[in-house]
């Protein structure tokens, strides 16, 4: 039965607005996909071999297309949309045929800039946020250290107030885009107080004397994204570069962790779907003992299980994002989402690689790249074990230190 055509004039203003928004969303998605297909994917193999993509060139293109300002205020060049639109973008980025570039985009969009957006002064936003949204600046996040990964409170880098400046000493590790960054959102100890109350976030220009990019780290995966080890030696930065209040840095960082973890989970959905589909296509045409590999029940049943798990992850992500946009505390659900995303990324890539046989162990197929790249999902932004501890805390099953 043919459905009757919709008469636009019969719709309410609210429904008309919904249709306009949906049409705009489709147009923006198409534009962004064209950028990925034209400006990124043709060069991914080259950038993977070189161990770095040209961040300033790529980010300028992405900035002009609005990749970095989806949920940022319009007065600073953003679109002023809610965080759910950022998640939609993150899923689109999953069509990039590597993990390193979406990760670097995530640092720029949802890791280095949320605290500055929420708590930074107008002057700081104009100096750092505006050019970052536009793609003129490359940003990095200075949180992790050699002895403080998931345990953020254990960082040792200091920023000592002297007059109108902070003097910074210490170092940061595993800094995404650190070799190319124009500025860093730096977490440092600004007092001797309790470790959850003595930290501050500072906008740190990366061209200041005393900043040393020690090396570009050679990694198992995410090879097209440069990752730096950085040292600070008596680096002087104006005290006005402080984001928000002194001593609130740990709290600000914990707030943005929820967005980071949801973004990370969203970026794995499309790659996992792609890997499953490419594995279906390959095993359908690959013959073993005169029949296709896909014909084996163990193979097509396993792929069905994995596809089901991906959809369950999607549902958990969407529920958590909806709660977050409504203003709820989603720490538990965000931790569950990230935990599941990391576990599933390992499960899907490992199972699918097995079905590719010897080809899966080469660098010629996408499944082997994502096998390496997506392994980081269980480590970066808080390990699986950290997520489990957070979940247990909310379930009130985590043993107290007194026990």
In 3D space, the residue among 38, 182, 154 whose CA is nearest the CA of residue 96 turns out to be 38
Report DSSP letters for 151-190, one per residue.
Answer: -GGG---EEEEETTEEEEEEEEEEEETTTT-SEEEEEEE-
The tokens of 381 are what?
């932004």
Choose, from 92, 260, 326, 364, the residue flagged as catalytic.
260
- Using alpha carbons, list the distances in angstroms from residue 377 to 129, 222, 268, 302, 353: 27, 11, 9, 22, 18
CA dihedral 384, 395, 333, 302 (to 10 degrees): 60
305 is catalytic: no
In 3D space, the residue among 175, 116, 115 whose CA is nearest the CA of residue 142 turns out to be 175
**Length of the chain counted residue by residue:** 403
Cβ atoms within 10 Å, residue 24: 10
- Strand, helix or coil at 134? helix
Q: Are 32 and 79 in contact (CB under 8 A)?
A: no
- Strand, helix or coil at 224? coil
Q: Are 177 and 138 in contact (CB under 8 A)?
A: yes
Strand pairing class (242-243; 183-189)? unpaired
Query: Which residue has tokens 């990760």?
Result: 103
Catalytic residue positions, numbered: 260
């Amino acid at each position: 039965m043919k459905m009757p055509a919709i008469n636009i004039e019969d719709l309410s203003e609210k429904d008309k607005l919904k249709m306009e928004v949906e049409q705009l969303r489709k147009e923006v998605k198409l534009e962004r996909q064209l950028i990925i297909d034209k400006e990124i994917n043709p060069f991914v193999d080259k950038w993977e071999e070189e161990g770095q993509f040209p961040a300033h060139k790529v980010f300028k293109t992405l900035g002009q297309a609005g990749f970095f300002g989806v949920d940022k205020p319009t007065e600073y060049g953003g679109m002023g949309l809610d965080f759910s639109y950022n998640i939609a973008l993150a899923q689109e980025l999953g069509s990039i045929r590597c993990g390193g570039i979406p990760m670097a985009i995530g640092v720029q969009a949802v890791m280095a800039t949320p605290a500055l957006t929420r708590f930074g002064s107008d002057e700081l936003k104009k100096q750092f946020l505006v050019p970052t949204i536009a793609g003129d600046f490359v940003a990095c996040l200075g949180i992790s250290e050699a002895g403080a990964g998931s345990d953020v409170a254990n960082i040792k880098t200091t920023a000592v107030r002297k007059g109108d400046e902070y003097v910074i000493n210490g170092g940061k590790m595993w800094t995404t885009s650190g070799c190319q960054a124009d500025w860093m959102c730096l977490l440092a100890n600004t007092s001797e107080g309790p470790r959850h109350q003595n930290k501050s976030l500072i906008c740190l220009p990366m061209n200041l004397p005393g900043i040393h990019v020690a090396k570009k780290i050679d990694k198992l995966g995410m090879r097209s994204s440069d990752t730096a080890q950085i040292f600070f030696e008596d680096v002087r930065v104006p005290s006005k570069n402080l984001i928000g209040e002194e001593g609130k840095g740990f709290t600000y960082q914990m707030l943005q962790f929820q967005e980071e973890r949801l973004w990370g989970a969203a970026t794995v959905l499309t790659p996992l779907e792609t890997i499953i589909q490419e594995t279906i296509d390959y095993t359908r045409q690959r013959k073993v003992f005169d029949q296709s590999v896909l014909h084996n029940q163990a193979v097509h049943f396993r792929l069905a299980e994995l596809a089901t798990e991906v959809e369950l992850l999607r549902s958990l992500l969407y529920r958590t994002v909806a709660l977050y946009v409504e203003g709820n505390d989603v720490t538990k659900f965000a931790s569950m989402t990230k935990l599941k995303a990391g576990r599933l990324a390992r499960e899907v890539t490992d199972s699918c690689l097995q079905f590719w046989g010897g080809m899966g162990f080469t660098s010629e197929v996408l499944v082997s790249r994502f096998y390496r790249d997506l392994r980081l999902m269980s480590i970066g932004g808080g390990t699986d074990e950290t997520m489990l501890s957070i979940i247990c805390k909310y379930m009130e099953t985590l043993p107290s230190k007194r026990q």
